[in-house]
Structure 1
Amino acid sequence: MEHTLIDFYRAIEESSAKMLQAAQNKDWDGVARCEGACAVLIEQLRFRSR
């Protein structure tokens, strides 16, 4: 399945929302997991947008 750029932005938005929720719950391991997921998605977005 081919992902469009908007799919990456939506996935980043979803992961960022999960990261916020984890931070509000003081779930620092969850924050770190979401941060890692965001980093991967951002790199994929950069690669695809070239």
Structure 2
Amino acid sequence: MHWNLRTVVRLFLLVGGVLALASGTLGGSTTTLLVGAVAMGLGVVGLVTEWNESRT
């Protein structure tokens, strides 16, 4: 995998999504929980896609 700006943004989405998901779970905020889940999902999908493209 080549590290570039997109990789950093995807890692930011993943880490931020996990933190927002945890915060929403602990705080009982459904909106924060959903935003965290979406951000985490986008980060994971983006990193997996980038990793698969770099293998070929």
TM-score when normalising by structure 2:
0.65
Match for residue 46 of structure 1? 48
Q: Which of the numbers 11, 17, 20 marks the counterpart of 1:15?
A: 17
Alignment coverage as a number of residue pairs: 48
Residue number among 34, 37, 49 corresponding to 1:35 in the alignment: 37
Name segments (4+ residues, structure 1) moved above 3 Å: 7-11
Q: CA RMSD in A?
A: 1.9
More helix by share: 2
* Ranges in structure 1 where 5+ consecutive residues have no aligned partner: none
After TM superposition, give the deviation of residue 14 of structure 1 in Å. Answer: 2.7
The share of aligned pairs that are identical, in percent, is 6
- C-alpha displacement of 1:13: 2.3
Bigger Rg, structure 1 or 2: 2
TM-score of the superposition, structure 1-length normalised? 0.71
Q: Which runs of no fewer than 5 residues in structure 2 stay unpaired?
A: none
